[in-house]
Structure formats: structure tokens, C-alpha cells
Homo-oligomer: A and B are copies of this chain.
Amino acid sequence: MFREKIKVLDCTIRDGGLMNNHNFTHEFVRAVYKAISEAGIDYMEIGYKNSRRLFSPKDYGKWKFCDEDDIKRAIEGVPSKTKLSVMVDVDRVDFDDVPQKKDSIVSMVRVASYVKDIDKAIFLVNHFADKGYETTVNIMAISRALDNELTEALHQLEEECKARVIYVVDSNGALYQESVEFLVKKFKSILKSKEIGMHAHNNQQLAFSNTIEAIIHDANYVDGSIYGLGRAAGNCPTELLLGFLKNPKYDIRPILDVISKEFIPLREKLEWGYVIPYAITGILDEHPKTAMALRESNKKEDYREFYEGFLGDDTD
């Protein structure tokens, strides 16, 4: 038996782009889009709508900006019922870069926000909703949110925000399943008119199980990425999610194929997934950026020193 309301969003290109400055080729994006479409996945997030005033196209690939023409070039001619999504960060978007929905190939705009920025997030979401898009708010670094501030933010979202879905985002890969249960139940108790989403990171190999846990407690929007490709330890593997979900509309085989053909060669050039420094930042509920820097250094396997570096912080 399956729950028809569950929607899968594959964020491979968007979250994976954080590992290569969004420099995927059109051919790679096309292969991923084709696999996701054939697999029957509901949404594909193709990148960010970031401002060119803040980020230079010299430093970043096209999926940092997601121009309509680039998207069209990557996907045209591929039969698909998959809707496209783009992500927007608070304070990093130019409104004029996002056209009216009727002039766009994109269906959904997801706004990523910390709890402290929720007023800005609501303003953004309502703007994009008024342009005709489906919208969501993705509350990042939720493991670090103070409960009273989160409660207030959720009430604001319920009362003032046009987003249909509010996501729990475990940016640090720090949550255990009991905390996922706590958070999803909390979200549901306040966000009575909205759906709950789950976006997990895999620092402690818990992205898939935390996504299942969210589903158990009635989250209906779940993010996956193919072979887990995403920032640092990556995300909930889409292939495992499809193996778990029983909706006959999903087919795992195109995902298996694209891993064979595209992701195994890519893995030779680009590192993501479970390594000890990401596990350490997950265990300590720290942002993975220090671990990502370590992996680029000549101390990439010096785990004890890296771990002890956190213990030495002054904390009074």
C-alpha cells in the first residue's frame, strides 16, 4: 500500500552543484532529467536562481543562475511529466530574474531560509506565489533552531505565507530519528493548512532513514538525489527512496541506468558521500564547510586532529 500524496523531488543537480560550483554539462543534466522523467519522479530541482550581481558567471556554472534558455536547452525533446523546481536563497536573488510563471518552464520556487530570516522568506515566497509558482519554504539548519524561535516562525508561516509546503532541512546531517519525529510532529501541529517536507543530509548515514521517519509521521514531500550526490556527505539516495516507496508510478530502473553510465564515471572526478570528516561534523552538529575544506587540504585523512579542533573551541 502506498500513500498517493507523497511527492518525490530529486535535487541532484541543485544540491550536487554545491560540489562543483554548478558546472554540470548540458549533457549530464539532460541524462539526469531523462532518468528522473522515466522514473516517474514528481519534481526535479535543477539549480539556483542566484543574483549575477553577487556571484560572477566566471566563477560559477549555469545552474547557479538557471536561465530559461539553459534549462530549455538541457531538457528539450525529452518526454516528461516531471515538474521543474529552482531554489532561491534569502538575500541572494533578484526578483527580476524570475519571470511570471506563464513565461517560465519552471513550476516551483523553493525558498531556503534560516529561522532568523523567516520574515524575508515569507516576503519572497509571497512574491513568487503571486507570480504564479508553486512555492515552498525550506528551513535550513533546523538542528540548531531554538524551539521558541522555531515555534514563532512556524506560526508566521501558517498565518502569513502562501507556500504550500514547509520543509525540515537537516543541513548539518545531525538529526537522529527521534528528533525527526519531534520536528515533523511539531510542524504538523502548527502548519495545519500545509504539507510537510523533508530534506536530509547523509553525514551520519541517516538521510534515508530520517526521510522514512518523516514519511511515517506524515511528511508528504521528500527530497532525494541520485547516488546521494549533494553537498558533502550528500542526500537521501533517490534509488533507495524509490525502492522503499510502493507507488507503482515510480520505476527504479532508469535511475540504476543513469548511475551506471553517468555517476560512476563522475565519482572518479568528484568526491561526495560518507567520509569521516563529514561524519564528525554531523556528530557534532556543525556545518560541513570545515570538513569540505579539510578534504581539499593535505590533511584530508587527519581525523583526530580535525575532531579535536572542535573540542578546543572556547565555549563560555
Binding site for B on A (CB under 8 A): 176-178, 202, 204-210, 212-213, 216, 227, 237, 239-240, 243-244, 252-253, 256-257, 259-260, 264, 273-274, 276, 279-280, 282-283, 301-304, 307-308
B contact residues around A308 at 8 Å (CB):
253
Task: Tell me if B176 and A243 are in contact (CB < 8 A).
Answer: no
CB distance from A236 to the nearest CB of B (A): 9
A204 in contact with B208 (CB, 8 Å):
yes
Contact B208 A205, beta carbon cutoff 8 Å: yes
A260 x B205 contact (CB < 8 A) = no
Max chain B C-beta neighbours (<10 A), residue from A177, A259, A304 = A304
Q: Which partner residue on chain B sits nearest A237 by CB separation? A: B205
Q: Known contacts A260-B303, A276-B259, A304-B260: does B208 contact A178 (CB below 8 Å)?
A: no
Contact B205 A202 (CB under 8 A): yes
The count of identical subunits is 2
Asked whether, in the complex, the Cβ of B208 is within 8 Å of the Cβ of A301, the reply is no
23 examples of A-B residue contacts, CB within 8 angstroms:
A176-B244, A177-B209, A202-B205, A204-B208, A205-B207, A205-B209, A205-B237, A206-B208, A237-B279, A240-B283, A243-B283, A252-B307, A253-B304, A256-B276, A256-B303, A256-B304, A256-B307, A259-B276, A260-B276, A260-B301, A260-B302, A260-B303, A273-B274
The answer to whether B279 touches A240, judged by C-beta atoms less than 8 angstroms apart, is yes
Q: Is the CB of B177 within 8 A of A253?
A: no
Q: A236: nearest residue on chain B (CB-CB)? A: B205
Are A240 and B205 in contact, CB atoms less than 8 angstroms apart?
yes
Q: With the chains together, A202 CA to B252 CA distance in Å?
A: 19
Most B CB atoms within 10 A — which of A237, A264, A279?
A279
